[in-house]
Amino acid sequence: MKEVTMEKVIIFGNATQGLLGHFLLTHDSPYQVVAFTVDGKYIKEKELQGLPVLPFDEIESIYPPESCKMHIPVLGWAPKLREEKYHQAKAKGYELINYISSKAVTWPDLVIGDNCSIGEGSICRPFVQIGNDVLIQAGCNIGHNTVIKDHCFIASHAVLLGMVTVEPYTFIGANATIDNGVTIARECVIGAGTVIRTNTKEKEVYRANPPALLPLPSDKMMNMYFARQ
């Protein structure tokens, strides 16, 4: 019987997002994760999940790019730092893989760069274009004709309606909604739960209203609602 060999991949990152990347690639991709890598000063343990954690500046001498690919699913809040690692990894000769969850919905016309991820339950509708190094978490709606440019991060359950454009380095928080046809300028932070209905300007930060704390305990509130039924 012919042996099936999986392509090998190194994950950049040794904290929560790196471990999440390891889990997703291990359980839901044609890749075998063989190592973690980070800048030497950030190495805490020599091993994670039974795999070596190796210094990024020496990685090519241990796992050369001819034998391995790389994925950088980290630094959601630091897109320019992720971009730096993205270019450094490419300069070393690594191909940067995409992770598209088998539980995401995409169409065959999806245009997508490299080092992207699309989490479970996310939907990319027809005519979507995604640049390089774009991380899309779980349960997002990427509406038809939407364009997301390089080095953006889209947190879980964000809703981008149709024909949205997201310029580079932008962070879109969980449950944010971007209306049809809106352009989010580069380097914006769109806070969790905000509803953006008009174009934004470069480097703007939007935050949703803080929730109101009501002056009664929860059992009183629950009894009140229970009594109404």
Residues that bind ligand COA (CB under 6 A): 76, 155, 173-174, 189, 191-192, 205, 207
**Residue 71: CB minimum distance to ligand COA, A:** 17
Task: State the alpha helices, DSSP H only, in 35-106.
Answer: 59-62, 79-91
- Of 54 and 140, which has the nearer Cβ to ligand COA? 140
Q: In the chain, which residue ranges form alpha helices assigned H by DSSP?
A: 16-27, 59-62, 79-91, 218-228
Closest CB to ligand COA among 143 and 173? 173
Report in angstroms how near the CB of residue 181 gets to ligand COA at its nearest. Answer: 23
Would you say 59 or 137 has its CB closer to ligand COA? 137
Residues 42-56, buried b or exposed e (16+ Cβ, 10 A)? ebeeeebeeebbbeb
For the bound state, the minimum distance from the C-beta of residue 192 to ligand COA, rounded and expressed in Å, comes to 4
Measuring CA to CA, which residue among 168, 151, 83 is closest to residue 117? 151
Smallest gap, in angstroms, from Cβ of residue 156 to ligand COA? 7
Task: Identify which of residues 112 and 174 has a Cβ nearer to ligand COA in the complex.
Answer: 174
Euclidean distance between CA atoms 88 and 58, whole angstroms: 12
Query: Please, which residues bridge with residue 99 across strands?
Result: 117
Query: Closest approach of Cβ 189 to ligand COA, in Å?
Result: 5
Between 86 and 206, whose beta carbon lies closer to ligand COA?
Answer: 206
Instruction: Quote the CA–CA distance of 174 and 176 in Å, as a whole number.
Output: 6
Closest listed residue to residue 98, CA positions, set 77, 121, 74, 70: 70
